[in-house]
Amino acid sequence: MSETRARFPWGLTVATGVALILLCGLGTWQVQRLQWKEALIAEAEAAAKAPPAPLAVVLTAADPEFRKATIICPGLATAPFVELQTIQEAEVGVRLVSACRPEGQATTFMIDRGFVSESISARPPVTASDMPTGLTVELRHTPPPGAMAPPPSGLHFYARDTAAMARALGVTGPVGTRTLYATASSNPDWAALQPSAPPAAFSNNHLGYALTWFGLALALVGTYVALLRRRTGAPTSEKSST
């Protein structure tokens, strides 16, 4: 009687090695993404805490995202507006968005004047006026609406489409790609208007993703070791004829 051992499972070893490299690579990538996201959040918080500066100065920054700026907008309190359907703190309503060419600027910007609850039917007056309105605003980049966004209905919008809003308001000339969110009311005598910039939405789940990939890599190694011991560790008996 002689004993033989199973051949070394080279195919399983190679496949396990490739999968292990892939899982560790994904885990490392998520760690890098975590560092990038934490730096981005820190930059956004620092920008939001910076004191307001004139819009012309803020726009010269390498990245004015989340910066606060002071503007003077002629006629904003009685300017035409479109309504953007939204939900704020679980309350349905609209945000009033007007066009404004701030003093000293050649570009027109969309000014988000604030939120109005659906329960409020009144609206600010719309009349021609050059009365200057001074505001502090927060700059936000406005991405184009998704392909599934419903089209606007007249002056009522369901997605923040800067170009379409500008057309609806009869804007001619260049239009800024950033929305200026009022942080103070353009109509202080009308309490229903709630000016605010939406909170920064940074999803930061990269640590959890990294732990998942590294955990799968560890489980793969454990499974491979168990299979290897099972394949090569137990001898088999073989009969020999004489």
Across the chain, mean pLDDT equals 86
pLDDT at 201: 59
For 155-200, write each residue's pLDDT tens digit: 999 999 999 999 999 998 999 989 999 999 999 999 999 998 876 6
pLDDT at 238 exceeding the cut of 60:
no
pLDDT at 240 exceeding the cut of 50:
no
CA distance 6 to 38: 51
List the beta strands (DSSP E) in 33-122.
53-54, 68-74, 82-88, 91-100, 108-117
Residue 146 vs residue 232, higher pLDDT: 146
Phi-psi region of 170 (alpha: psi -120 to 50; beta: other; left: phi over 0): left
Q: What mean pLDDT is predicted for residues 213-231?
A: 88
pTM: 0.69
pLDDT at 4: 56
CB 199 within 8 A of CB 48: no
Using 50, 70 and 90 to split pLDDT, how confident is the model at 206?
Answer: confident
CA distance 72 to 129: 14
Tell which residue, 90, 122, 142, 234, has the closest CA to residue 187. 122
Tell which residue, 133, 137, 139, 138, has the closest CA to residue 72. 133
At residue 56, the 3 state secondary structure works out as helix
For 134-164, write each residue's pLDDT tens digit: 999 999 888 888 888 889 999 999 999 999 9
Tell which residue, 163, 62, 188, 64, has the closest CA to residue 108. 163
CA distance 206 to 65: 23
Q: What mean pLDDT is predicted for residues 15-29?
A: 91
Question: Which are the contacts of 19, defined by CB distance < 8 A and separation ≥ 6?
Answer: 220
CB 195 within 8 A of CB 180: no
Using 50, 70 and 90 to split pLDDT, how confident is the model at 242?
Answer: very low
pLDDT at 199: 65
pLDDT at 1 exceeding the cut of 60:
no
CB 98 within 8 A of CB 75: no
pLDDT at 92: 95
